[in-house]
Structure 1
Amino acid sequence: MKFYFYFLNFILNLLYSINRIFLTKIIDMKKKLLLIILAIGFFSIRFLFAQDKAVPEQYNRSALTYMLLDNGGKYSSDLKQAIEKVNIPEKFDDNNLSTRYFSSSESPKTIKSTIINNHYPNDIVAKWFDRKDDGTLDMTIIHKRGQYNATDQDALKAQASKLGMAKLKDAGQALVNNSHILVLSYKNIITMKEHYDKVDKRRRAIANKTKKKFKPVKRIKNGFMGDVTAYLYKIDFNDSIYGVLYDQLWIYDDDDAATKQKKKELFDKTQFPLKFVMKVNGKADGSQYNPGQILAPKVQKTRDELFQQLVSTGGESAIFMIERKYEPFRVKVPVYTRKPIGAKVGLKEGLKFDQRYFVLEYRMNDKNEMITKRRAVVRSKSVIDNRKMATGHSTETSKFYQVAGRRVDEGMLMQQRNDFGIGLSLGYASGEIGGITGKAEYNVSTLLWTFTGKLIRIKQLKLFAEFGSETKEYNTPILVGAEDISFTRYDVGISKGYYFARNFSLTLFGAYGMEAASHDDFIVNGEETDLSTIYLNFGASLTANLTYNVQLFGTLNMYSVGDILDDDGNTLTLSGNDATYTDIFQNREGASFSVGLRLEF
């Protein structure tokens, strides 16, 4: 507990020092904004003390069956053809059936009834037990999956027991109860051309309303895009169901012909229990860059391949959302090494580069109940290929770096906790270019790692878009006397973050943007106009965690501006020479400093 009060005191002292050096002007001009930012930040400190629910320590692989909900439509045949070729992610055991689609009205209850009436749970159980045409069952698949599911620790325990590796094979029986069916319903599928047409329609309407020049969207991609709604179901294969299977449905060698036939028919009629788990929504992308674009593939994909991509990304999007809510889909593994932080988890568990994990510790609460408390937050920086049977002797680990929390020790539990990779910031800047600022960031590290076939590994690589707004008084050569000018700026850029301590990071960035200056009396060649310039902004940002996903930041910006332009993009002239932005707005470039809050999602 003392740690957090020391940390809070440090943040207060840091803010006070920054204020004395850089922000006296901000306090005088924007007290209310800063007070709101600080109030939100310090209010978020309470989340540092929030207790997590008890998290089960054991993680077992789940098996997954993809099913397409086919209710006709323009692209029905494309989707049905695509679902036949889509693979289950490697994190899951593949329980796909020969039948990949069905029709049903779209409600969890009706879909469940359709699945049961079509005996899909029956077919999945038959796949687990490698059921033959004569109705006989065996444990081959269960034993293989049991061994593949085992960790090094499981293997060591098995080797030390009398049963040996047979113990791991038998452990596979528990995996049958982790059988899930993911029903995918694809909607609102449009071509990229239709998407661009919609964007242009909106832009044209805005241009007409604001009397601005219409600028069509750049049409850089082709293919398809759409939405997906996914329904997750689980086969409830508990101990009592196992009892029925072995007592009434399993065909033994010493059964007579009549008994064998009776058991075979009874299995065919059995309805294994099915539970609805949840419904999630996501996006599906079946597009590619046009020839000539930097990211265009060497060979353009066919229509069939694009629909296969659309169905695949829709399924992955749904799984991502489920993993955020459903504990059995969250990987859990103990910390194996502390310096560097390492764990025996990798491609077999679906680990991705720069993926987020919580580090948990078990505690007893005041009611003498076992709870888990978040100790730290880490992200992966290397991913091992562990897609093989555990031997108990491997020391290979994926490595992680810490982004929040306290010291991590061996044996603590790591829990997969997906994030969207999005950061939102709000602050205030002081300097020649200042005012209210806002930024939206997206961490592309995982995307880049995946896109390059796991070759490029750059942590905390982000693309961002930023805006700023302020009103400031200037004495310009095109107005009489000093006037308040309204400035609005937008930029896009790239940044690279470095976590040099558990709760502190440094980010370097570069951006390209445009600032517009507005005043009712800006007249050029007899017409009202807004003035603008193109600028570059380079700088660095220092962050300090208030909670694992809320940060206080201070940013140093260095702006370099260009010529001053009118609404048509023409450079203004003064005394026959091209005018720069600073010719009109004196000294409006150079350094500025901003502070504020940053939230991660």
Structure 2
Amino acid sequence: MVSAQEKVRENVQDDYKRNSLSIIVVDRGDNYDDTVFEAVRSINLGDKFDLNLIPTNRITISGNRANTVGGIEVGKAVNASDLGKEILSYWFDRQADGTMNAKRLEQRGNYNADDQDVLNARAAKVGPESLGDTGYALVSGSYVMILDYSGITSSKNDKQEVSWSVTTNAYVYQIDYSQDIEAQVIEAWVYEDDTPEAIAQKNEAYDKILVGMSPKATVSYTTSAKEADGGVRAAIVEGYGETLLRLENQIPAWNVTTAIAKRNPLRAKIGTKEGVKNRMRFRAYLVKGDKNGNPYTVPKGYIRATTVADNRGMATGQSTKFTEFYQISGGKIDEGMTIKQKNDLGMGVSLGYKVGGLAPYNLTVDYLASINTKGFSHYGLLNIGYDMFSGSKIGDKVGKYLDAGDLTGLTDGGISYINFGIGYGFGIRPIRHVELMPFIMGGGDYMMNHNDFLKEDAGEETEDSFSKKIAWYGNAGLRVNFNVKYPLQLFIQADYTLLIEEGSYYKAFNDLLKVGDLGHKNSFGIMAGVKWTF
């Protein structure tokens, strides 16, 4: 006979449990050790992980900080430390005399429990205090992140502004916790009423427990920050966030998994407690069974978190706090479907060909800053365009109207234009497969005379010569993106470009080219191309 608890539990598709984390910083034996350690201690680690504050928070691996220490050296340092035992002692609050308690275990077990767990406990006529029992399963989700910072260098730009570059190297290990080790811990459990002889025997048994650590993932990421913005410390803080994002992609157990609780809008009972943030991407799955009754999942589409619920606190079984989502691809997503965290960068790269405007060949990068439950999105945009006229083409088109002497410096090597612009786009989704994005952009259109590269005495580009060879422009338009097979999209775009100010060199040669209808000018443009999101 199936128990009441099992009857309720069969409706839940996810098995996500909160993980716990210890942070250890590598000391190199140089002047940066304390700066690095204090910067790491200042990082806001968020709410996704419980912190295991074990005694070891620094390990020494001497070496030139210009180089990474490497996984082999880190592995040796981990094996030389008793990190697994330190983690166990923290979980069970083991004291100097060997006494232990399960208060931390029970508290974390209750905090990890969701509303469904509470309902299951009630259906089985078991008190909510029994939820603390699940805390034992959480011990196996204990991780250690070893952070090594290498390549710390400074540089100055033309304005003498100092910037610092830092490479974050993260090595993640997981505790080797098994039922056998759990049984040994229970056997060595010291109670207040134990005799001195029993305590001595149990402490000896506890000391003999071997708890290893297994490597799980390694990530390196380089960041930089200006001295005025915090320098080394700021680069270290930023590096942690980017590193964590990449580690989540490598460690499946760190990916939040739950079930869709409601539709219109899509909602689920996760939030800040699980580290969910606006625009975080999830993939939805439909669980099916084969002819033998074995379950399998079918991907149904991608969604993004929009309004994130603050669900910090103990579950009651009657929570009304839901994180809302917007679906960005796929078929219909219903209540009960499983969603699993699938991090991305929130970026898209487009390649397009344009008729009209400043350049026919264009590369556009868009960055999703935020999205709301109605699908309205805010984007940062970067565009680079390229246009080129060969010397022979200039001679054919412009030479019909001007004397050869007027074309000196144009027909020898030709002319290239490189335009670059930054802007803002506002995404509107009438349906999930189509996005309309009105946008505005501003930037520069730089002219390169190929003949200059042929001159031995051309010299280096200066700020003055650069300003003479560039025209500043404004651009506005509408782009329409169509999902083909996510993350692949097709797009069409219509826009208008206005040249605002032209440098003297740019204007002189551009006016000559316009005689043959080759130069750049105020104009409408139509562009089409492909986009890939990642």
Tell me the TM-score normalized by structure 1. 0.74
> C-alpha displacement at 1:133, in angstroms?
1.8
Residue type of the alignment partner of 1:594:
M
Q: State the alpha-carbon separation in 2 of the partners of residues 241 and 144 from structure 1.
A: 21
Contact 1:376 1:408 in 2 (8 A): yes
Alignment of 1:528-543 (within 5 A): 532-543=470-481
Which residue of structure 2 aligns with residue 172 of structure 1? 135
Q: Residue 560 of structure 1 is aligned with which of 484, 498, 509?
A: 498
Contact 2:22 2:51 in 1 (8 A): yes
Which residue of structure 2 aligns with residue 596 of structure 1? 529
> C-alpha displacement at 1:265, in angstroms?
3.3
> C-alpha displacement at 1:587, in angstroms?
7.7
> C-alpha displacement at 1:57, in angstroms?
2.6
3-state DSSP class of the match of 2:442?
strand
Which residue of structure 2 aligns with residue 428 of structure 1? 353
Contact 1:435 1:470 in 2 (8 A): no
Q: State the alpha-carbon separation in 2 of the partners of residues 168 and 309 from structure 1.
A: 41
Distance 1:438 1:137, change over 3 A: same
> C-alpha displacement at 1:487, in angstroms?
3.4
Which residue of structure 1 aligns with residue 90 of structure 2? 127
Distance 1:308 1:488, change over 3 A: closer
> C-alpha displacement at 1:334, in angstroms?
0.7
Distance 1:183 1:478, change over 3 A: farther
Residue type of the alignment partner of 1:467:
G
Q: State the alpha-carbon separation in 2 of the partners of residues 234 and 135 from structure 1.
A: 24
Q: Residue 78 of structure 1 is aligned with which of 31, 35, 40?
A: 35
Q: Does the alignment pair 1:548 with 2:486? A: yes
3-state DSSP class of the match of 1:562?
strand
Residue type of the alignment partner of 2:429:
Y
User: Kindly, what percent of the aligned residue pairs are identical?
Assistant: 26
3-state DSSP class of the match of 1:405?
coil
Alignment of 1:220-239 (within 5 A): 224-239=164-179
Q: Residue 67 of structure 1 is aligned with which of 14, 24, 39?
A: 24
Q: Residue 94 of structure 1 is aligned with which of 51, 54, 64?
A: 51
Contact 1:424 1:598 in 2 (8 A): yes
Contact 1:462 1:496 in 2 (8 A): no
Contact 1:437 1:469 in 2 (8 A): no
Residue type of the alignment partner of 1:426:
L
Q: State the alpha-carbon separation in 1 of the partners of residues 129 and 509 from structure 2.
A: 85
Which residue of structure 1 aligns with residue 191 of structure 2? 252
> C-alpha displacement at 1:585, in angstroms?
5.5
Distance 1:160 1:547, change over 3 A: same
Q: Does the alignment pair 1:146 with 2:109? A: yes
Distance 1:581 1:288, change over 3 A: farther
Contact 1:564 1:572 in 2 (8 A): no
Distance 1:76 1:597, change over 3 A: same
Distance 1:125 1:284, change over 3 A: farther
Residue type of the alignment partner of 1:128:
W
Contact 2:360 2:385 in 1 (8 A): no
Q: Residue 181 of structure 1 is aligned with which of 138, 144, 148?
A: 144
Q: State the alpha-carbon separation in 2 of the partners of residues 490 and 591 from structure 1.
A: 17
CA shift digits 1:174-210 (9 cap, x unpaired): 000000000001011123xx1x34xxxxxxxxxxxxx
Residue type of the alignment partner of 2:363:
G
Q: Does the alignment pair 1:460 with 2:399? A: no
3-state DSSP class of the match of 1:514?
strand
Alignment of 1:63-462 (within 5 A): 63-104=20-61, 106-191=69-154, 194=155, 196-197=156-157, 216=158, 224-247=164-187, 249-253=188-192, 255-284=194-223, 287=226, 289=228, 309-364=234-289, 370-431=295-356, 433-445=358-370, 459-462=377-380
CA shift digits 1:294-322 (9 cap, x unpaired): xxxxxxx6xxxx65544433332222111
Q: Greater shift after overlay, 358-367 or 310-319?
A: 358-367
Residue type of the alignment partner of 1:82:
A
Residue type of the alignment partner of 1:170:
D
Unpaired runs of at least 5, structure 2? 1-12, 63-68, 459-464
Q: State the alpha-carbon separation in 2 of the partners of residues 520 and 231 from structure 1.
A: 49
Q: State the alpha-carbon separation in 1 of the partners of residues 403 and 211 from structure 2.
A: 81
Which residue of structure 2 aligns with residue 454 of structure 1? none
3-state DSSP class of the match of 1:251?
coil
Contact 2:376 2:427 in 1 (8 A): no
> C-alpha displacement at 1:71, in angstroms?
1.8
Contact 1:403 1:503 in 2 (8 A): yes
> C-alpha displacement at 1:103, in angstroms?
1.5
Contact 2:491 2:530 in 1 (8 A): yes
Residue type of the alignment partner of 2:313:
K
3-state DSSP class of the match of 1:337?
coil
3-state DSSP class of the match of 1:60?
coil
Q: State the alpha-carbon separation in 2 of the partners of residues 400 and 267 from structure 1.
A: 48
> C-alpha displacement at 1:351, in angstroms?
0.8
> C-alpha displacement at 1:238, in angstroms?
1.5
Q: Greater shift after overlay, 370-379 or 130-139?
A: 370-379
Contact 1:562 1:581 in 2 (8 A): no
Q: State the alpha-carbon separation in 2 of the partners of residues 265 and 441 from structure 1.
A: 61
Contact 2:358 2:385 in 1 (8 A): no
Q: How many residues align?
A: 490
Contact 2:165 2:232 in 1 (8 A): no
Unpaired runs of at least 5, structure 1? 1-55, 198-215, 291-300, 450-456
Q: State the alpha-carbon separation in 1 of the partners of residues 384 and 208 from structure 2.
A: 61
Q: Greater shift after overlay, 270-279 or 433-442?
A: 433-442
3-state DSSP class of the match of 2:329?
strand
Contact 2:380 2:422 in 1 (8 A): no
Q: State the alpha-carbon separation in 2 of the partners of residues 336 and 90 from structure 1.
A: 22
Q: State the alpha-carbon separation in 2 of the partners of residues 490 and 551 from structure 1.
A: 23
Q: State the alpha-carbon separation in 2 of the partners of residues 330 and 252 from structure 1.
A: 38
> C-alpha displacement at 1:259, in angstroms?
2.0
Q: State the alpha-carbon separation in 1 of the partners of residues 204 and 72 from structure 2.
A: 27
3-state DSSP class of the match of 1:275?
strand
CA shift digits 1:269-318 (9 cap, x unpaired): 4331211111111234565656xxxxxxxxxx6xxxx6554443333222
CA shift digits 1:226-274 (9 cap, x unpaired): 0111110000212111111112x21135532122112223323433121
CA shift digits 1:426-472 (9 cap, x unpaired): 111112544121112223339xx9xxxxxxx9733223232232447
Contact 1:376 1:405 in 2 (8 A): yes
Q: State the alpha-carbon separation in 2 of the partners of residues 478 and 188 from structure 1.
A: 57
> C-alpha displacement at 1:162, in angstroms?
2.5
Q: Greater shift after overlay, 395-404 or 492-501?
A: 492-501
> C-alpha displacement at 1:365, in angstroms?
6.1
Residue type of the alignment partner of 1:466:
I
> C-alpha displacement at 1:60, in angstroms?
0.2
Which residue of structure 1 aligns with residue 3 of structure 2? none
Q: Greater shift after overlay, 475-484 or 68-77?
A: 475-484
Which residue of structure 2 aligns with residue 501 of structure 1? 431
Q: State the alpha-carbon separation in 2 of the partners of residues 84 and 432 from structure 1.
A: 51
Which residue of structure 2 aligns with residue 29 of structure 1? none
Contact 2:167 2:222 in 1 (8 A): yes
CA shift digits 1:332-354 (9 cap, x unpaired): 11111111111111111111111
Q: Greater shift after overlay, 558-567 or 346-355?
A: 558-567
